[in-house]
Chains A and B, each alone.
Chain A
Amino acid sequence: MTMKLSARQFKQRLGFSLLTLMTFLTVVPIIGVVIYIIYLGFPAINLEFLTGFPREGMREGGILPAIIGTFYLTLGTAIFAVPLGIGSAIYLSEYAPNNRATQLIRIAIINLAGIPSVVYGLFGLGLFVLFLGFGTSILAGSLTLSIMTLPVIISTTEEALRAVPQAFRTVSMSLGATKWQTIRKIVLPQALPGILTGVILGLERAAGETAPILFTVAAFFLPRLPNSPLDATMALPYHLYVISTQVPGMPIKIQYGTALVLLVFVLSMILIATAIRSRARARRQW
């Protein structure tokens, strides 16, 4: 027996090594960013930073208005985008006739996901802020973020619905269930983990975007909490942009502290989604 590698085996080893290296190169920067932000931002985190209002031209004090603002915007986006997105996906997957019009709608939705977010921002300014007269407000911002989020929610939900075996639908209807009963009792529960993933992916994007809220809701400096959907508000991504570029002499730990809070906000959404999903899977029969 010889230990010499054949050309095929050598190619295989080389291929594996390259793939491992690529994965490594992808993961290292992600972990690097997280560690860097924690390292520079953590010293800023204390009770006042999380629960206080900005002072001294935002160079001191806390970022509570931005945290609350982002929370409200995410909530508002969920209220508009989740029912609308899931509803459209159910229609497209279960009811829409398989014709050219449906295909056109589907292509339009996929392409909507690729539109730059600043364009959504301008659209929101035109439609919600000016034409409908909502002003720069949480309402206008949430609606703008909803429109941006809808394509993500619709396409992932539709995919999750289509992954439910057709045989379940046939069997359910052969047992005398209506189409709607079949969807509600079998298709939706089966697709739920996939739908949740789509919803969270969409909302996470909404929480972190700056451009769509730039013209529609975000306040440069507003040291109080919003008390109606028609109020403007500060928000984490825009606040981060402001303190990183617009305010001279800003302590670096405040910038990275804000970034860290935004990161934790988004990551905790992912964690909640994962928890709900694995609970749904465990309760499922397989």
Chain B
Amino acid sequence: MNKISIRNLSLTYSDGTQPLKNISFDIPANQISVIFGPAGGGKSSLLRTLNRLNDLTDLKYQEGSVLLDGREVLDPALDVIQLRRQVGMVFARPVVLPFSIQKNLTYGLEVAGETNKDYLLDVVESSLKKAALWDEVKDRLADPAIALSGGQQQRLCLARVLALEPEVVLLDEPTSGLDPISTGKVEESLQDLKSEYTIILVPHSIQQAARTADQAIFLLQGELIEVNRGDLIFTNPQDTRTQDYIQGRFG
């Protein structure tokens, strides 16, 4: 079943650059879809379209259609606040908010009007467990989140998104600043999470793409070159450009 259908999506920024050119593909539910390719290929722009964070940039116009469960995401009348709860995002650099660990996790629910203390505490525990951080922080939930290590901060950012009980989780190079052990922990959590969520990952390396992808999408300079199952695209790419990139001839 497809969670998201993207049809003929093109973006243009006000400086005239076109990060995405006529992109079409589907994102199946409860899988890890990996969007990979060299820098400047439009990966982040694509992610930011899916939860309308592009609204905050100097986007000039967008064409085409992005359907989430059959509903048009690009509709100007859509409630973006609701959309962003439904489609959560983890950024490349872990940005913890200037609060305690616990407040970071409850922030999204509190701004949405949730006041039930018991429920909030439950969410803190369950989301930290899902992000494999609970054991490390359960005794210091009131400490400032900034005191955590980089790897812990990034897992906190993941837990913060999960606390909103989203349906889709976007991850933009979530392990780019992390050591191999933390990276392993994040990748492990993702595998556990896909039964509950639809995951879209921009990996920080081709190796990570190959390790995690159920489906992989290769983007090159704003164009979609190839979409295939993860176990096929990295062993038997159909397009020579995909092959060249995977084998390290460019990028």
Contacts and interface: CB of A to CB of B under 8 A. Distances in A.
A168 B157 CA distance: 12
A22 interface: no
What size tier do the contact residues of chain A reach? 20 to 34
Contacts of B145: 285
B183 to A, nearest CB: 21
A174 B57 CA distance: 13
A171 B91 contact: yes
Contact of B56 (A165, A173, A286): A173
B164 interface: yes
B25 interface: no
Contact of B97 (A171, A176, A181, A284): A171
A181 to B, nearest CB: 5
B95 A171 contact: yes
Given A173-B56, A176-B164, A186 B111 contact: no
A172 B98 contact: no
Contacts of A167: 91, 93, 95
Contacts of B84: 173-176
A286 to B, nearest CB: 5
Contacts of A285: 98-100, 144-146
Interface string A147-174: 0000000000000000001011111111
Interface string A245-286: 000000000000000000000000000000000000000111
A168 B97 contact: yes
Interface in B108-129: 108, 111-112
Nearest to A286: B146
Residue of A167, A174, A284 ringed by the most chain B CB atoms within 10 A: A174
Nearest to B145: A285
Contacts of B82: 176
Given A176-B164, A177-B108, A286-B146, A170 B97 contact: no
A152 B81 CA distance: 36
Contacts of A185: 107, 111
A163 to B, nearest CB: 13
A176 B108 CA distance: 6
A178 interface: yes
Contacts of B164: 175-176
Contact of B81 (A165, A176, A186, A190): A176
Contacts of A286: 98, 144, 146
Interface of A: 165, 167-178, 181, 185-186, 189-190, 284-286
Interface of B: 51, 53, 56, 81-82, 84-85, 88-89, 91, 93, 95, 97-100, 107-108, 111-112, 144-146, 157, 160-161, 164
Given A176-B108, A177-B111, 12 more contacts: A168-B97, A170-B95, A173-B53, A174-B51, A174-B91, A175-B84, A175-B161, A176-B82, A176-B84, A177-B107, A284-B98, A285-B99
25 contacts: A167-B93, A170-B53, A170-B95, A172-B111, A173-B53, A173-B56, A174-B51, A174-B84, A174-B91, A175-B84, A175-B88, A175-B108, A175-B111, A176-B81, A177-B107, A181-B111, A185-B111, A186-B97, A186-B98, A189-B98, A284-B98, A285-B98, A285-B100, A286-B144, A286-B146
* Across the A-B interface, the 9 shortest Cβ-Cβ residue pairs: A285-B144, A175-B108, A177-B111, A176-B85, A167-B95, A176-B84, A181-B111, A174-B89, A171-B95
